[in-house]
Amino acid sequence: MRTIKDLGDLRGKKVLLRSDLNVPLDKDGAITDDGRVRASVPTIQRLTQAGARVIVCAHLGRPKGAPEARYSLAPAAQRLSELLGVPVPLAQDTVGPSAHATVDALGDGEVAMLENLRFNPGETAKDAAARAEFADQLASLADVFVSDGFGVVHREQASVYDVAERLPQAAGGLVEQEVAVLQRLTRPARPYAVVLGGAKVSDKLGVIENLLQHADMLLIGGGMVFTFLAAQGHEVGTSLLEKDQIDRVKGYLADAENRGVDIVLPVDVVAADAFSADAAHDLVAADAIPADRMGLDIGPESAQLFARRIAGAKTVFWNGPMGAFEMAPYAAGTQTVAQALVDATSAGAFTVVGGGDSAAAVRQGGFADDDFSHISTGGGASLEYLEGKTLPGLAVLED
């Protein structure tokens, strides 16, 4: 994989930098977790210190190929300017007159940002010709392309894949770091514990299948656990359940037993009568969830069970919260697992928090990024890499 050092002298060159600035916003448009913006800073600083004229491009949310004010990158540009300590002007379009004028105004070592790439339908078009047209327009703005948005490298999109075929290209420092971490997870120090949570089993089918060949133990929480409990024949009440995946999960349980991989499930859960912080809720056994209640967090006994297993591991990968952590009554399980990873890190284990909701959960819980060996910026990309899939945005950077 080509890196920035392979690009030679960048002084005076216009560098199109694909970053991942897809940050969560509150109802007032304020950033609630700036982790991805902060993660973009080292590569930007490396480029500006080399005298490059840096053109940051990224997406936010899921606009439908046209401008939507609520998805403007303005909050990200503002936060980036604060972190860099210099103004970061934001173009009012992606490849139009404002983008060209903003880029033309850049001096050596300066930074600007294009508006949300997904305001242009060519960015995510399934049609290769439509993507190519947008990629041509993006490429015309720059001399060099640097891919540093790890959270999108599993997408064959114009700013991720097609532009890299049109300009001299390289991986940025963040992408380099993320790949190095994931490679280490494919050759883990043992015991290797994987903690999986989040809403749906179907989101993680491929990675579960792959990890059964590599992990020593899988600790399952979050909404996906109820499909596992149902596969064991237990009542799960009104909990999130993917009935069409029960047979497949039964197969995973049998495969794990044959391979000697421990699948650790909760023994107690916090069950509520509605998906609400104000709902009546109490602690019940995981195999005795009332028919009119839904599980919204692993219980304290389960959290301690998970913590003990994590404490015995040399490598830990965690993707997906243990419950509806954004609501205080259902945050304790995720908090306990996060603390267990922190303790494991202190004891010398290699710990990786896998992006997205997991990263937001640990920061919301008051943990610092350096409490863990690594917090990934790309949950979906990390999972697909560990699944053994070819990621288009990485394949296109190969020598």
DSSP string, 264-324: E--SEEEEESSSSTTS-EEEEETT---TT-EEEEE-HHHHHHHHHHHHT-SEEEEES-SS-
Q: Residue 360 has what pLDDT? A: 86
Q: Residue 380 has what pLDDT? A: 86
DSSP 340: H
- Examine residue 381 and state whether it is found in any structural domain, yes or no: yes
Q: How far apart are CA 206 and CA 209, in angstroms?
A: 5
Q: Residue 356 has what pLDDT? A: 72
The CA angle 212-259-376, to the nearest 5 degrees, is: 20
| Binding site per annotation, positions | 20-22, 36, 59-62, 118, 155, 204, 295, 326, 355-358
Q: Residue 252 has what pLDDT? A: 95
The average confidence (pLDDT) of the chain is 95
Boundary-marking domain end, from 176, 210, 225: 176
> Do 168 and 197 belong together in one domain?
no
> Do 137 and 193 belong together in one domain?
no
> Do 136 and 268 belong together in one domain?
no
Q: What is the pLDDT along the chain (399 residues), one digit of tens a residue?
A: 999 999 999 999 999 999 999 999 999 999 998 999 999 999 999 999 999 999 999 999 999 999 999 999 999 999 999 999 999 999 999 999 999 999 999 999 999 999 999 999 999 999 999 999 999 999 999 999 999 999 999 999 999 999 999 999 999 999 999 999 999 999 999 999 999 998 888 888 888 999 999 999 999 999 999 999 999 999 999 999 999 999 999 999 999 999 999 999 999 999 999 999 999 999 999 999 999 999 999 999 999 999 999 999 999 999 999 999 999 999 999 999 999 999 999 999 999 998 678 888 898 899 999 999 999 988 889 989 988 899 999 999 996
The dihedral region occupied by 281, where left means phi > 0, alpha psi between -120 and 50, and beta the remainder, is: beta
Name the 3-class secondary structure at 54: strand
- Examine residue 81 and state whether it is found in any structural domain, yes or no: yes
Contact 84, 59 (CB under 8 A): no
Q: Residue 178 has what pLDDT? A: 95
| CATH classification of the domain holding 336 | 3.40.50.1260
Boundary-marking domain end, from 114, 148, 176: 176
> Do 144 and 248 belong together in one domain?
no
State pLDDT tens for residues 144-202. 999 999 999 999 999 999 999 999 999 999 999 999 999 999 999 999 999 999 888 88
> Do 159 and 232 belong together in one domain?
no
Q: How far apart are CA 350 and CA 181, in angstroms?
A: 10
- Examine residue 346 and state whether it is found in any structural domain, yes or no: yes
> Do 52 and 89 belong together in one domain?
yes
> Do 197 and 99 belong together in one domain?
no
Q: How far apart are CA 350 and CA 335, in angstroms?
A: 19
- Examine residue 392 and state whether it is found in any structural domain, yes or no: no
Q: Could you give the residue numbers annotated as active site?
A: 36, 200, 356, 380
> Do 116 and 205 belong together in one domain?
no
Instruction: Identify the bridge partners of residue 18 per DSSP, sorted by sequence position.
Output: 57, 147
Provide the b/e sequence for 179-198 (b: ≥16 CB within 10 Å).
Answer: bebbeebeebeebbbbbbbb
Nearest to 177 by CA among 377, 396, 393, 397: 377
Q: Residue 206 has what pLDDT? A: 84
* Number of compact structural domains in the chain: 2
- Examine residue 183 and state whether it is found in any structural domain, yes or no: no
Which residues span the domain enclosing 326? 188-387
| Binding site per annotation, positions for (2R)-3-phosphoglycerate | 36, 118, 155
> Do 210 and 356 belong together in one domain?
yes
> Do 123 and 226 belong together in one domain?
no
Boundary-marking domain end, from 142, 176, 210: 176
Which residues make Cβ contacts (< 8 Å) with residue 145, sequence separation at least 6? 15, 16, 18, 139, 163, 164, 166, 167, 168, 169, 170
- Examine residue 230 and state whether it is found in any structural domain, yes or no: yes
